[in-house]
């Protein structure tokens, strides 16, 4: 099987034009036209079979069809016209004919994008769908590049050159220039795909959910953040509690929501296919370490929306017995706040919007009951 490193470059449409590149090279080496065309057609067939066998999809092999059909048309034209073409000494006719056929076929290919995506890529991964878009972008570049080359040939035909200069210019115009165009697009696409794959592998994918929490799809986090309120995503928030006090610290200054405001340090987008309770536990573990024991429970679910973001928030509480166990370095730079301190701080508007919405529920359901429990426990001792 093909390695993943090779597989990602299968979407480069220039690979499907290798048979045509072979034909141009053989033509430039003065191999008889019919043999050069047959060699190119044969490589097109082998290349298409190779991709179908190893890549398990015919979507990306379409450019082998374009190469093969173009050269087949060129071969049929050679059968009926080679004597006339040789008589008038126009040896580059079949190269130009193949290019014109390829331009027309690439135009049809671009029109067929919806059909190809539906027919061959409906059940494919997001990586392959992204590569399909890159495939069509490069196909557009190839079409434009070859079109410009054909116009350059038309312009070149308006001038007359003699002797060795004419032979050299013919080689440059009819052989080297199309090779340079196709190879440049191939290298550009290779670099672009490598960068795309690298970004996609590092990308975090967020579930798209309804207000009830039902997952309806997924999208790249970086894309969704730029679209602000278009999609609703689940966000896990964890309030760290100890002896009826809650831990708060300033939100990062680069945060999209209330930068610099006081809030729980434990907040993260839940990723696609991640389990929500595990996401809450992991959020705490990364901040306070594995050595501290804590109990965690779900408290509240609600939709939060402002001008910058839209979230389905799942609020959890994590309880530790001794606040002195919490590290005060690294990512933990805040402090524990009592209910009285929190109520006094509301007048100064120092808390995040989400915390302000959650406070009364958190106070009545967790902080005050726990304070009563702590007092009763102290009295019993």
Specify the number of domains making up the chain: 2
For the stretch 217-226, contacts whose Cβ atoms lie closer than 8 Å and that sit 24 or more positions apart, written own/partner, are 218/126, 218/272, 221/269, 225/256
Burial of 80 (0-12, 13-18, 19+ CB in 10 A): exposed
Looking at residue 6, what is its pLDDT? 46
**Mind listing the pLDDT tens digit of every residue in the chain (381 residues)?**
334 444 555 667 788 889 999 999 999 999 999 999 999 999 999 988 887 777 655 556 788 999 999 999 999 999 999 888 888 878 889 999 999 999 999 998 888 777 766 665 555 555 566 667 777 888 889 999 999 999 999 998 888 776 677 788 888 999 999 999 999 988 888 888 777 767 767 777 888 898 888 888 888 777 777 776 688 999 999 999 988 899 999 998 888 888 999 999 888 888 888 888 887 887 777 777 767 778 888 999 999 988 888 899 999 998 888 777 776 556 678 889 999 999 988 888 899 999 999 999 999 988 876 655 445 554 555
Region of residue 243 (phi > 0: left; psi between -120 and 50: alpha; otherwise: beta): left
Shared domain for 169 and 104, answered yes or no, is yes
- Residue that terminates a domain, selected from 176, 202, 228: 202
- Residue that terminates a domain, selected from 138, 168, 202: 202
Domain CATH number, residue 270:
3.90.79.10
Q: Is residue 210 part of a domain?
A: no
Q: Is residue 336 part of a domain?
A: yes
Shared domain for 191 and 225, answered yes or no, is no
Q: Is residue 243 part of a domain?
A: yes
Shared domain for 89 and 177, answered yes or no, is yes
Q: Which of 281, 247, 279 is nearest to 264 (CA)?
A: 247
Q: Is residue 209 part of a domain?
A: no
Shared domain for 195 and 223, answered yes or no, is no
Predicted TM-score (pTM) of the model is: 0.58
Task: Report the C-alpha gap between 259 and 358 in whole angstroms.
Answer: 18
Shared domain for 166 and 237, answered yes or no, is no
Shared domain for 138 and 13, answered yes or no, is yes
Shared domain for 88 and 171, answered yes or no, is yes
Q: Is residue 208 part of a domain?
A: no
Shared domain for 175 and 242, answered yes or no, is no
Shared domain for 147 and 270, answered yes or no, is no
Q: Is residue 207 part of a domain?
A: no
Looking at residue 329, what is its pLDDT? 57
Looking at residue 73, what is its pLDDT? 96
Give the number of residues written for the chain: 381
Shared domain for 219 and 179, answered yes or no, is no
Q: What share of the chain is helix, strand, coil (3-state, %, to 5)?
A: 60, 15, 25
Shared domain for 186 and 293, answered yes or no, is no
- Residue that terminates a domain, selected from 149, 178, 202: 202
Looking at residue 375, what is its pLDDT? 52
Q: Which domain holds residue 143?
A: 4-202
Q: Is residue 97 part of a domain?
A: yes
Q: Is residue 277 part of a domain?
A: yes
Shared domain for 191 and 334, answered yes or no, is no
């Amino acid at each position: 099987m093909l390695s993943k490193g090779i597989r990602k470059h299968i979407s480069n449409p220039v690979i499907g034009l290798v048979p045509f590149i072979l034909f141009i090279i053989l033509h430039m080496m003065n191999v008889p036209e019919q043999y050069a065309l047959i060699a190119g057609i044969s490589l097109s067939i082998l290349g298409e079979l190779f991709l179908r066998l190893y890549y398990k999809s015919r979507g990306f092999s379409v450019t082998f069809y374009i190469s093969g059909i173009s050269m087949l048309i060129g071969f049929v034209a050679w059968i009926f016209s080679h004597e006339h073409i040789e008589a008038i000494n126009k040896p580059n006719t079949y190269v130009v004919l193949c290019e014109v056929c390829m331009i027309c076929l690439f135009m049809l290919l671009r029109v067929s994008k919806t059909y190809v995506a539906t027919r061959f890529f409906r059940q494919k991964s997001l990586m392959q769908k992204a590569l399909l878009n890159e495939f069509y972008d490069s196909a557009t570049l190839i079409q434009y590049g070859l079109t410009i080359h054909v116009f350059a040939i038309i312009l070149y035909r308006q001038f007359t050159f003699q002797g060795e200069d004419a032979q050299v210019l013919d080689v440059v115009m009819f052989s080297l220039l199309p090779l340079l165009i196709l190879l440049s697009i191939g290298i550009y696409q290779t670099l672009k795909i490598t960068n795309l794959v690298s970004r996609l592998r590092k990308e975090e994918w967020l579930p798209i959910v309804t207000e009830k929490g039902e997952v309806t799809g997924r999208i790249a986090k970086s894309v969704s953040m730029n679209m602000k309120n278009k999609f609703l995503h689940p966000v896990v928030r964890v309030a760290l509690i100890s002896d009826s006090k809650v831990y708060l610290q300033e939100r990062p200054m680069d945060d999209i929501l209330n930068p610099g405001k006081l809030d729980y340090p434990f907040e993260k987008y839940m990723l696609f296919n991640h389990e929500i309770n595990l996401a809450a536990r992991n959020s705490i573990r990364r901040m306070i370490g594995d050595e501290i024991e804590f109990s965690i429970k779900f408290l509240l679910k609600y939709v939060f929306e402002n001008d910058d973001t839209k979230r389905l928030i799942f609020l959890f509480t994590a309880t530790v017995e001794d606040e002195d166990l919490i590290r005060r370095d690294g990512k933990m730079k805040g402090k524990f706040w009592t209910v009285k301190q929190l109520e006094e701080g509301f007048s100064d508007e120092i808390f995040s919007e989400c915390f302000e919405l959650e406070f009364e529920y958190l106070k009545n359901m967790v902080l005050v009951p726990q304070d009563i429990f702590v007092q009763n426990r102290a009295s019993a001792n």
